[in-house]
Amino acid sequence: MALMTPEQVPVISSIYRLQWEDSQQSHVLLYPEGMVQLNGSAGEIMVMVDGERSVAEIISALQAKFPEAGDLTDDIVEFLGVAHERQWIQFA
């Protein structure tokens, strides 16, 4: 899994485009060969990946949006690591 710091800024890789798909009722990553359907949690995280927010800012924003979920840090870091491994995101 990719090592990342809270200061790093993730950005969606240039071959992917994130969008909401009504027919899927979920966010998806579109790429030339197909589509990746994201579950609800993954979609919420990817929406925050705008090339401006740091990992720490994404965690803070999602903690504020979902306070009842408890500490989301490990889950968000784990997902961002997997997304980086799958080359969905890069770190600016």
Contacts of 53 (CB under 8 A, 6+ apart): 9, 61
**Residue 22: Cβ within 10 Å count:** 6
Residue 2 pLDDT exceeds 70: no
**39: which 2 tokens?**
């579950």
Contact between residue 39 and residue 26 where contact means Cβ atoms under 8 Å apart: yes
Query: What are the tens digits of pLDDT across the range 54-86?
Result: 999 999 999 999 999 999 999 999 999 999 999
Does position 3 have pLDDT exceeding 90, yes or no?
no
- Read off the pLDDT of residues 21-44 as tens digits, 9 standing for 90 and up: 999 999 999 999 999 999 999 999
CATH tag, 10-91? 1.10.10.1150
- Alpha helix (H) residue ranges in 1-92: 40-48, 55-65, 73-85
In the chain, where are the structural domains located?
Answer: 10-91
Give this prediction's pTM: 0.93
